[in-house]
Amino acid sequence: MNTDLSRFHQLFFEEASEHLSEMERLLLALDIAAPDVQDLDAIFRAAHSIKGSSGTFGFNDMTDVTHVLETLLDRVRKREQALSDDMVDALLQAGDILRAQLGAHRDGVEVDPQEAEPVLKRLRSLTEAQALLLADTPGTAISTASIPLPEFRTFHIRYTPGPDPATPLGVLIEELERFGVVSIEQEEAEHCILHLSGAVDMQEIDDIFSFIATAEQYAIEALPAKSTAVEAQTDEDDPGFGFFEPIASTEPPAPTTEDEGFGFFVDPASLQTAQKPEDKDPGYGFFTDKLPVPTPAQDPAASESHPLEMPRRRASDREVDNSIRVGIDKVDQLINLVGELVITHAMLAQTISTLDPVLHEKLFNGMSQLERNSRDLQESVMSIRMLPIGSVFNRFPRLVRDLSGKIGKQVELKLVGEGTELDKGLIERLADPLTHLVRNSLDHGIEAPEIRLDAGKAAKGLLTLQASHQSGNVVIEVIDDGAGLNRERILSKARQRNIPVSEDAPDQEIWPLIFAPGFSTAEQITDISGRGVGMDVVKRNIEDMGGRVEISSQQGIGTRITIRLPLTLAILDGMSIGVGEQTFILPLNMIVESLQPLPAQISSISGSGRVVHVRSEYLPLVALHEVLNIQPQTRDPCNGIVVILEVEGGKVGLFVDALLGQHQVVIKSLENNYRKVRGVSGATIMGDGRVALILDAAALVQLSRS
Amino acid sequence: MSNTQETAQSMADAAQYLTFTLGREEYAVDILKVQEIRGYDAVTAIANTPAFIKGVINLRGVIVPIVDLRIKFNVGNATYNEFTVVIILNVLQRVVGIVVDGVSDVIALPPEQTKAAPEFGAALDMKFIKGLGTIDERMIILVDIEKLMSSRDMELMDEALA
């Protein structure tokens, strides 16, 4: 291919990967028993578009795969073959292969044709098995090839390249000559009429033009051929696209469209209407961002026309058009500045509060308005970093499908609250822990179908991923209706691993044991889960994000794992504490309780410091002023406060002078301009403009031991 | 005529420096590294750090460490009052504040007025001194502030960076 098509490659890559995603999404959503014809058509169209454009660019490996895939799909959508689970699997696999091929072409790497072979074989066998069955049935056409040989026809092509064509006419004609004899009826710089005679499908010509010109710059018309069938077919074939003049029409396309003919900035709304078949001037903008290349389903075998399902796609395209990409550092800078504004306001308010409100009424009114506005501003700016959690949830339908097939379980995945928004940084870090939890639920939670039936449950297990906002937190739940956690097994495993736990401890104390490192109660290790490396990592990841994990479970009924996360990484729920002259912040999610101990509760163990006796537990007592070398207000724990912290599975009592209050604080990095400080995880700016350090409880405890 | 031209030329070449005093010695840093000069207030101490690291301040939302060069080089009296001056520097994409005895002037030093420093007993280690300048018969020590701030004994950066 000598046309300069390489500059369109990027466009092709983008579109093809969009088509692939769409295909996968639709395949996963398909109801196997009663597939929606429109969905099947949409899948077919996606595959066909990839085939058409990959062929044009000479990516023959992709054309091969899509061709086989399309053959199978075509039979399914024409009801010649029933859809099966196996088929969807094979189609998904083919999708993966296509994605790999696409990636290889994009990176300019050689593709190993062997990789596609097994999938192709599988698809072919699926198609052929059915075809053989049908062979016995008279009257059923057996066509496994989706493109029958095109008939010899003459096409009338009107092409208006415009003042500065991307591809010279000569090159174009050379390209067309691959298909047959080209004769030039009229050749002017801006308008020419060509005749092409050859055994070629109109689709193939269209493919060439669609890459070099916008839709209204060219019109291809098949002249009546020998058989009237062809004519009828052509008419029927392109019902929804309107790129082609109906044969009956003698009216030439208005050449006046030249000026606005490039359609670079056509908005999707006008496209939507422009794509109606009656419209002779579809105004298709090739360069309009993210719009699919017009490669209409032209397959003569697919003469049944179905209403197009374009509007849904258009709606999502419009969303894309309405957003801009901005570097995250710019957003963070904005958040910083707004935070400063709020602090400045607080300082001003403090100064003003000494004034007489009656004398300075206007000033006070202005201040309260400023407060409202700056809070609104802060909220809006914070919301820029928010993304719907759906972007994480979306990976699970495929995962659940693949895994449940692999381990022979039937699982239905339900996603609830995909629109729940949380910080972009959190979303990225949430994917791994959630994947662990979902795998666990599939492997250990939900039982095999026969066991479920025995237990009187439906054979198909239900796995629910649910997200919601609850009082300033994001709550994500992974719920299964499986066997539940096995109390006895966890207890015996705990004893094996010498984890001290009482036999009659409440469930709330037993379940968290599964978060201990190396703890797995799975009877046998599978390749999905059970090595005991998962749950402690999950817990640590969530805690690193400032969140908490809770488990509730009932044997035989199911398990619910709840993750609570702060709305953003940038904000932390903290308790401010005072030691000496200084104020520190402790993350609230680490604090279990705080108390003022009685002298009887404090005892010292010779050589290894003091312990505090709280609710039948002896907890090591760490004095913050000793760890941080600060002059405290009191050295007697009974005059101060002991904050019980949960740190790395154990509890410690942290002795401080006083609790000052609970705040949401904006986390700032110390490392940007300074270095990492042991025992400190970050800093924040208090209402008075001073810096307060955020303590890292785990590191503090380590510091106190050394 | 040609003489004035020469002078103008050398003035254009002259680098500008901010001079400050530590004890009785006069130092200068490249003015392009200086972000601002401010008073010393509201410093939050950081535990278990050397005495010359006074802590961190909030500089319009950015957490900035403050180093007292007087303590570091053991010159002058490390007292803090409303006249104590902090020079906020922008070095190696970091913002750092240094406490000095006083900020004197902005000077232009043409290259011919700076000389390589001989071995001598300044408070600063020789490797952080770019040279010596002379203005009105006064000797000014030109400090390589980037090298100084990133040096290991300042303990301002993690090892990996230093």
pLDDT tens-digit series, residues B25-79: 889 999 999 999 999 988 998 888 888 999 999 888 789 999 998 888 888 777 8
Give the per-residue pLDDT at A306.
45
Residue B8 counted as domain residue: no
The contacts of residue B81 (CB under 8 Å, 6+ apart) are: none
- Does B112 score more than 50 pLDDT? yes
Residue B93 counted as domain residue: yes
Give the per-residue pLDDT at A542.
86
Range of the domain at B35: 13-161
Nearest-Cα residue of chain A relative to residue B66: A674
Question: Can you list the domains of chain A with their CATH numbers?
Answer: 1-138 (1.20.120.160), 328-385 (1.10.287), 388-566 (3.30.565.10), 571-705 (2.40.50.180)
Residue B65 counted as domain residue: yes
The contacts of residue B75 (CB under 8 Å, 6+ apart) are: B22, B23, B24, B25, B101, B123
- The two most distant CA atoms of chain B are separated, in Å, by 62
A671/B158 Cβ within 8 A: yes
Q: What is the mean pLDDT of each run of 10 residues along chain A (706 residues)?
A: 59 79 82 78 81 78 82 78 80 84 79 76 74 47 43 70 61 68 67 70 69 68 53 43 44 44 45 44 43 42 42 45 78 82 79 86 90 85 84 87 85 88 83 86 85 86 88 83 83 79 77 75 50 70 82 87 79 85 88 88 79 86 87 84 82 90 80 84 83 87 79
A691 closest CB neighbour out of B57, B94, B95: B57
- B122–A contact, CB cutoff 8 A: no
The domain total for chain B is: 1
Task: Report the pLDDT averaged over residues B74-96.
Answer: 87
**DSSP state letter for A260:** G
**DSSP helix/strand/coil, B47:** coil
Share in percent of chain A as helix, strand, coil (round to 5): 45, 20, 35
Q: Indicate the Cα dihedral angle A371, A374, A377, A383, nearest 10°.
A: -80
> Higher model confidence: residue A214 or residue B7?
A214
How many CB atoms are located within 10 Å of the residue B2 CB? 6
From residue A217, alpha-carbon distances to A236, A253, A384, A610 in Å are 23, 9, 41, 86
The residue among B48, B52, B66 with the most chain A CBs within 10 A of its CB, best to mutate, is B48
Residue B7 counted as domain residue: no
The pTM (predicted TM-score) of the whole model is 0.51
Residue B3 counted as domain residue: no
Residue B152 counted as domain residue: yes
- B66–A contact, CB cutoff 8 A: no
Q: What CATH number has the domain bearing residue B44?
A: 2.40.50.180
CA of B10 to nearest chain A CA: how many angstroms apart? 36
Residue among A419, A440, A405 nearest A519 (CA)? A440
Give the per-residue pLDDT at A484.
83
Q: Note the ipTM here.
A: 0.83
B155/A675 Cβ within 8 A: yes
Residue among A39, A129, A103 nearest A77 (CA)? A39
Residue B121 counted as domain residue: yes
Residue B1 counted as domain residue: no
Handedness of CA A88, A93, A96, A97 (dihedral sign): negative
Helical segments of A58-112, H only: 60-77, 85-107
A669/B58 Cβ within 8 A: no
Q: What are the backbone angles phi and psi of residue B65, rounded to the nearest 5°?
A: -75, 150
B62/A673 Cβ within 8 A: yes
A679/B48 Cβ within 8 A: yes
Residue among A641, A531, A554, A649 nearest A594 (CA)? A641
Q: What are the backbone angles phi and psi of residue A259, rounded to the nearest 5°?
A: -60, -50
Query: Which residues in chain B are closer than 8 Å to A336, comparing Cβ atoms?
Result: 61-62
Give the per-residue pLDDT at A226.
46
From residue A543, alpha-carbon distances to A13, A136, A239, A550, B156 in Å are 39, 64, 56, 12, 29
